[in-house]
Amino acid sequence: MSDFDPGRRRFLGHLGLAGLGALGASSFLSACASSASGPTSNGSGAVTIQSNLSSPQAKAAMEKLIETFNAQGKGTASLNTIASETFRTQLPTYLTSANPPDLYTWYAGSVANDYASKNLLLDVSDVWKSLDDYPQSLRTLSTDASGKQIFVPMNNYWWGFFYRKSNFAKWGVQEPKTWTEFLALCETLKSKGVPPIGIGLGDTPWVASAWFDYLNIRINGAPFHRELLAGKQRFDDPKVKAVFTRWREALPYFDPKGKAYPFQEATTALLAGKTGMFLIGTFFADAAPKDALGDLDFFRFPIIDPAVPLAEEAPTDGFFASAKTANPTGTKALLSYLSGVEAQEAYVKASSGIVLPANPRAKASDSPLVAKGKAMLDEAKELTQFFNRDSSDALQPTADTALTKFIDKPDQIDAILREWQAGAEKVFKG
């Protein structure tokens, strides 16, 4: 519409465009959802692997793995790296297309099981036969409702309250163990003029879900948390309200600027000593300068009720394959390679992120931070994934709305939980 001849004919033309533009709004939806245009795999030839690991280090690490696999002569694979947001929205389309890519990077847990229940995922029990020494927790996590394995884990990471050792020393404070100690620590930091708790909700509101997950698994336990996220419990239950009653005790200590900036900037604020600590997953360190990494430490989310079995968030990343793959043998060969010690160590080394390899024989990087993280997860009785991974990406926006609203207007908690329940019911209904 760069021409602007004001004649009537032209105007009618614009009208037509207007109609089409609006029609386009609806056609856009159907076109995106029904067109099935994924890269195609050619019979028993190369295995296509669709990857959302698009950050430069992770991408390079994956490229290297595939290169090594191809050099081994057990099959050929080609890597297809997609921007993660595109990958997320297009994944259902890939999987339901007539000629889908073979293998996908994705998350373990209910997100994978949901696809499995629609018969979209390849049974990879064969691959698991050689993974005897994997911990039972990972095996359970990779098994669908019908008892077969549909997922092969690559690595996991942990969440915790990260802080700078030098700053804690400067302020003369120690890691808290219990909720009471935690609140006392917040009070001390506040009296020293430091906003105690950093957060980054602008653009990344899902970060708030970590608080909800942790408070819920500390107060009500992991089984209740999973049932709640699966729609078997209600968000307006008094047990859920108890979570927010606790959270409210900590609200005055949140950095008020955290609402406006994303977690990457909250990381910068933490490293610059503008906030005291930050509940976040280890991926945040990707954005941290190398010299700051040695100064980082973390403590586990404080214990609230010692009677509740200890659970930690340990999101697990890995692979699943399309049930419609034309080359199941090649796909499984690639999965076996990827779950092996060699590939996992190579990935951990090249990716620079703080991750723990899934294979128990593969060595994690030998920093004290990683050792501490691994020990924390080993000690836990239960592992949860994260809000969206234990439920679905569809439920995540309902949590974002409810939690950011709670942080703004804690007085309205009853109404917020009612709205959350109504929103969740719509998602579960489909």
Partner 1 sequence: MTATISTTSVTPTRRRRRSARLSPLLVAFVLVPFAVESVWVFWPAIQGFWFSLTRWDGMTPPTFVGTDNYVELAGDATFRGALVNTVIWLVLFGGLSVLGGFGMALVLQKERRFVGFYRAALFTPVVFSLVVTALVWRVFYQPDGIADTLLRAVGLEQLIRPWLADPQTALYAVILPALWRQIGYVMVLFLAGLKAIDPALHEAARVDGANSWQRLRHVTIPQLKGVNAVVLSVIVIDSLRSFDIVWSLTKGGPYHSSELLSTYMYSTAFQSLRLGYASAIAVVIFVLALAVILGYLVRAFREEAS
User: Minimal distance in Å, beta carbon 419 to partner 1?
Assistant: 8
Using the minimum distance from each CB to partner 1, give the nearer residue, 297 or 400.
Answer: 400
CA gap 153, 360 in Å, rounded: 11
Q: Using DSSP, how many helices (H) and how many strands (E) does the chain show?
A: 19, 12
Q: Which of 90, 93, 94, 61 is nearest to 317 (CA)?
A: 61
Q: State both tokens at 1.
A: 């519409």
Residue type, position 61, single letter? A
- Nearer to partner 1 (CB atom), residue 303 or residue 427: 427
Q: Rounded distance, CA 69 to CA 52, Å?
A: 19
Burial 158-176 (b: 16+ CB within 10 A, else e): bbbbbbbeebbeebebebb
Q: How far is the CB of 26 from partner 1 (least distance, A)?
A: 3
Residue number with CB closer to partner 1 (182 or 254): 254
Q: Tell me the closest approach of the beta carbon of residue 59 to partner 1, in angstroms.
A: 22
Of 135 and 423, nearer to partner 1 (C-beta) is: 423
Q: Based on CB atoms, which residue is closest to partner 1, 39 or 92?
A: 92
Q: How far apart are CA 405 and CA 418, in angstroms?
A: 13
Cα angle 94, 286, 253; round to 5: 105
Minimum Å gap between C-beta 397 and partner 1 is 5
> Which of residues 8 and 290 has its CB atom nearest to partner 1 in the complex?
8
What is the closest distance, in whole angstroms, from the C-beta atom of residue 401 to partner 1 in the complex?
5
CB proximity list for 34: less than 8 A, separation 6 or greater? none
Strand partners, 163: 297
Residues in contact with partner 1 by CB under 8 A are 1, 4, 6-8, 10-11, 14-15, 17-34, 89, 92-93, 95-96, 118, 120, 201-203, 205, 256-257, 259-261, 265, 393-394, 396-397, 400-402, 404-405, 408, 419, 426-427, 430
DSSP assignment of 181-229 equals HHHHHHHHHHHTT--SEE--BSS-GGGHHHHHHHHHHHHT-HHHHHHHH
Residue keyed to tokens 């910068």: 268
Q: Give the nearer residue to partner 1 in terms of CB position, either 37 or 42.
A: 37
Tell me the three state secondary structure of residue 3: coil
Least distance to partner 1, CB of residue 183, Å: 25
Q: Which is nearer to partner 1, 4 or 73 (CB)?
A: 4
Distances (CA, A) of 188 to 170, 181, 198: 12, 10, 15
Query: Residue 22 CB, nearest distance to partner 1 (Å)?
Result: 4
Task: State the minimum distance, in angstroms, from the CB of residue 8 to partner 1.
Answer: 7
